[in-house]
């Protein structure tokens, strides 16, 4: 019986250690993560990205050779409030992106298409922007048309 208690105590200690490690890892998301959408004084935005088929001709809103779109959100500061990379899905279609925890008021959304999946290749293939007013109620819809660069 003593051996079983020892095993049980060891297992409980391992479980607590695992939970502690998981909570530390989950809590280290970085300063540029969006806040909880229920945080007072914040709102949300919805962006729908219509990815064309790869065989589609150039000249569409998203270039056929684009593999990612980077959305940056600015709130009057030089540095973006939020940066999100959306990778091209395996087939054509619409990808809906919801951005939560945005500050209320005017917000500038900048979208750029890149040839790589990480959104780091320079120069971007296409770019566009829109300023919208974020409110507390329903998420605001952001419509951005990309123009080839």
Let me know whether 98 and 74 are in one domain.
Answer: yes
Reported as a single tens digit per residue, the pLDDT across 105-118 is 999 999 999 999 99
Give the pLDDT score at 38: 54
Give the pLDDT score at 97: 96
Let me know whether 111 and 77 are in one domain.
Answer: yes
Give the pLDDT score at 57: 53
The 3-class SS string of the chain reads: CHHHHHHHHHHHHHHHHHHHHHHHHHHCCCCCCCCCCCCCCEEEEEEEEEECCCCCCCCCCCCCCCCEEEEEEECCCCCCCEEEEEECCCCCEEEEEEEEEEECEEEEEEEEEECCCCCCCCCCCEEEEEEEEECCCCCEECCCCCEEC
For the chain, the domain total comes to 2
Reported as a single tens digit per residue, the pLDDT across 8-60 is 444 444 433 343 333 333 333 333 444 454 567 899 999 999 888 776 555 45
Give the pLDDT score at 63: 87
Let me know whether 13 and 60 are in one domain.
Answer: no
**Predicted TM-score (pTM) above 0.85:** no
Give the pLDDT score at 56: 59
Domain with 59 in it = 42-148
Reported as a single tens digit per residue, the pLDDT across 62-77 is 888 899 999 999 998 7
Let me know whether 135 and 69 are in one domain.
Answer: yes
């Amino acid at each position: 019986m003593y051996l079983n208690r020892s095993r049980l105590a060891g297992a409980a200690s391992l479980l607590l250690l695992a939970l502690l490690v998981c909570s530390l890892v989950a809590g280290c998301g970085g300063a540029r993560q969006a806040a909880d959408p229920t945080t007072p004084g914040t709102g949300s935005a919805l962006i729908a990205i219509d990815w064309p088929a790869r065989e589609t001709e150039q000249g569409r809103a998203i270039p056929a050779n684009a593999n990612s779109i980077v959305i940056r959100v600015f709130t009057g500061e030089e540095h973006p409030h939020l940066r999100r990379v959306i990778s091209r899905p395996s087939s054509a279609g619409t990808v809906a992106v919801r951005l939560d925890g945005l500050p209320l008021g005017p917000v500038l959304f900048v979208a750029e298409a890149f040839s790589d999946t990480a959104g780091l290749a320079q120069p971007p293939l296409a770019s566009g922007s829109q300023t919208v007013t974020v409110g507390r109620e329903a998420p605001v819809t952001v419509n951005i048309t990309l123009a080839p660069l």
